């Protein structure tokens, strides 16, 4: 039986195609929807992910990238999660070799980007989701690719990955989440256009570097940060820093000299946190609308 | 060692360890004057005259700063001199460890 074609996509410098064994046909449309912001036109062969059942097994599924086995998982939903993880991993590995790539969320308004560097479990995806709902444009919840001449941060509009612990914060989103064979029970994968139509920006000039910090039961607080201290924090959020530290060091210097604001942001309740950002950086021009 | 100046502070990258060091303006001035030929006494005298400060105080502070810079691997050819051990207000700096973030 012929595999079901999902499409061609580009995640930063990782260009790939996806197809699914006919026994997984039910998720093809959902995968297309979730990956739609990464959709790429064109022809010619690309490295292709294939989701298929493990031969001789009624439940386990495997993921291959061309001839290479990526892994096996106990269900289709787990295998879809592995696919999305591997896409992200390859995007970061390939794109951070020769560019400054920060582990960061990125939002923008009026062509001016706010880069939110933060470690895992820092709440940046939750903050980015809240900001996009409230009118900010979406560039990424994972990585900021920065180039200079001119200084720009480029979009990596992967589906927002919202962990189970944050699901209750976005009740209006829950009705639009695609199940992906049960993958959504653990983590939602939501294209930004499901939060707000036309919310994805392609690139923007970096205007601020803001380091979110999350601790339970805290009130939002903004604290300006010296560029030198921002350099240290941003270096800790730079993918593959060790690969070419001098180049990344100078890239960071150019970025930080080019932005108007460096600050830390203690996050709290989302309404208050986003309101504080708008107070410090100016209001978003449009509120959420669908 | 490569450097970036940001708002009057100097950030140094130790290329061997990939560690960063932040020098405040005073420490940055001292570091930039340490060209392998200057001695601490002469440097201190020049700084004291430039800023109008007490020479002995400046000398102690510069000795302390130089000692800490050497301890952090930012200097070569350092030989301790008497008169160190001041409180080090002239040149505090941070030396954080760096780890590349995981990708997913």
At B16-67, the pLDDT tens digits run: 888 899 988 888 888 888 877 778 888 888 888 887 888 888 888 888 888 8
Q: In what helix (H) or strand (E) does residue A251 lie, and over which residues does it extend?
A: helix A245-258
Closest CA to B23 of B98, B96, B94: B94
Point out which residues pair with B11 in neighbouring strands. Answer: B4, B22
Q: With an 8 Å Cβ cutoff, is B95 touching chain A?
A: no
Regions in chain A scoring below 70 on pLDDT = 283-290
Omega into A150 within 30° of 0, i.e. cis? yes
B88 min Cα distance to partner chain A (Å): 20
From residue A142, how far is each of A42, A236, A238, B21, B23 by CA, in Å?
Answer: 26, 15, 12, 27, 31
Give the integer Cα–Cα distance in Å for A39 and B22. Answer: 43
pLDDT, tens digit, 9 for 90 and up, residues A194-235: 999 999 999 999 999 999 998 888 899 999 999 999 999 999
pLDDT for the residue numbered B85: 35
pLDDT for the residue numbered B88: 30
Kindly list the residues from chain A whose CB atom is less than 8 angstroms away from the CB atom of residue B11: 228, 231-232, 253
- The domains found in chain A, sorted by start residue, are 4-95 (no CATH), 100-157+200-288 (3.90.228.20)
DSSP A74: S
Give the integer Cα–Cα distance in Å for A174 and A154. Answer: 28
First to last CA, chain A: 40
Q: With an 8 Å Cβ cutoff, is A82 touching chain B?
A: no
Give the integer Cα–Cα distance in Å for A152 and B76. Answer: 39
| Interface ipTM | 0.83
pTM: 0.87
Q: Across the A/B interface, how many CB contacts are shorter than 8 Å? A: 73
Q: With an 8 Å Cβ cutoff, is B16 touching chain A?
A: no
């Amino acid at each position: 039986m012929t595999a079901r074609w999902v499409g061609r996509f580009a995640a930063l410098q990782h260009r790939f195609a996806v197809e699914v064994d006919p026994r997984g046909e039910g998720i093809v449309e959902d995968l297309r929807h979730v990956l739609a912001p990464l959709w790429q036109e064109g022809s010619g062969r690309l490295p292709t992910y294939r989701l298929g059942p493990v031969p001789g097994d009624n439940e386990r599924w495997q993921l291959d990238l061309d001839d290479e086995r990526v892994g096996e998982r106990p269900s289709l939903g787990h295998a879809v999660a592995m696919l999305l993880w591997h896409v992200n991993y390859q995007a970061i590995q390939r794109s951070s070799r020769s560019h400054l790539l920060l582990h960061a969320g990125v939002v923008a308004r009026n062509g001016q980007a706010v880069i939110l560097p933060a470690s895992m479990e820092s709440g940046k995806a939750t903050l980015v989701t809240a900001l996009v709902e409230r009118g900010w444009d979406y560039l990424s919840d994972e990585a900021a690719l920065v180039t200079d001449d001119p200084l720009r941060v480029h979009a990596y509009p992967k589906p927002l990955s919202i962990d189970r612990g944050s699901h209750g914060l976005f009740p209006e989103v829950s009705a639009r989440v695609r199940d992906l064979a049960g993958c959504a029970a653990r983590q939602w994968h939501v294209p930004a256009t499901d939060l707000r139509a036309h919310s994805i920006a392609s690139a923007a000039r970096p205007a601020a570097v803001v380091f979110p910090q999350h601790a339970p039961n805290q009130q939002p607080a903004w604290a300006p940060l010296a560029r030198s201290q921002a350099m240290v924090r941003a270096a800790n959020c730079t993918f593959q820093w060790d690969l070419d530290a001098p180049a990344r060091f100078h890239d960071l210097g150019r970025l930080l000299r080019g932005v108007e604001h460096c600050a830390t942001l203690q996050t709290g309740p989302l309404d208050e946190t986003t309101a504080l950002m708008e107070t410090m950086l100016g209001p978003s021009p449009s509120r959420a609308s669908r | 060692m490569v450097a970036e100046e940001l708002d009057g502070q100097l950030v140094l990258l130790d290329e061997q360890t990939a560690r960063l060091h932040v020098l405040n303006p005073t420490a940055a001035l001292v570091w930039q004057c340490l060209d392998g030929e200057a001695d601490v006494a002469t440097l201190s005298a020049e700084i004291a005259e430039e800023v109008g400060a007490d020479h002995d105080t400046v000398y102690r502070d510069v000795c302390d700063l130089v000692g800490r810079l050497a301890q952090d691997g930012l200097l070569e050819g350092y030989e301790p001199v008497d008169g160190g051990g001041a409180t080090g207000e002239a040149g505090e700096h941070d030396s954080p460890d760096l780890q590349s973030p995981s990708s997913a």
